[in-house]
Amino acid sequence: MLDFFVVVLSIVTIFSSANLGFIKLLRMTKLARPLKLVFRSEKLKISVLALIHAIPQLFNLLILLILVYTIFGIILVNFFKGKLHDCDTSKISSDFDVNFLNITDIYDCENYGGTWYNLG
């Protein structure tokens, strides 16, 4: 019966010139076919119910993982800030006295006449 319903809706959609978006929504009822199989088989029913009951614990695990990734993200951003860039000082003239240890960011590099580039 469900297959007949889906086929009729598909035919109506094909031959209709109007915008019938709600019929496309009704055609999605064909996704309910696997549920029929699940409720007929006792083993599949137990498996699906176990998965449904595990969703709150999986959600708690997801929250914990988001927290851990956020903490590691903050730590690594602070650890690597500015370390993946460097200043190319080969074009700076030798008669210009530059203490290269003072070049720590893009602004210092450009003020001394160097080129700031990405190491990664």
pLDDT at 68 over 90: yes
Q: In whole angstroms, what is the distance from residue 48 CA to residue 51 CA?
A: 5
pLDDT value for 23:
65
Q: Is 99 helix (H, G, I), strand (E, B) or coil?
A: coil
pLDDT, tens digit, for every residue of 79-118?
887 677 888 878 776 666 666 667 778 888 888 788 888 8
Q: pLDDT tens across 36-64, in order?
A: 778 788 888 898 899 999 999 999 999 99
pLDDT at 120: 62
Q: Say whether pTM exceeds 0.85.
A: no
Contact yes or no for 103/114 (Cβ under 8 A):
yes
| Residue 116 phi, psi (nearest 5) | -85, 125
pLDDT at 33 over 80: no
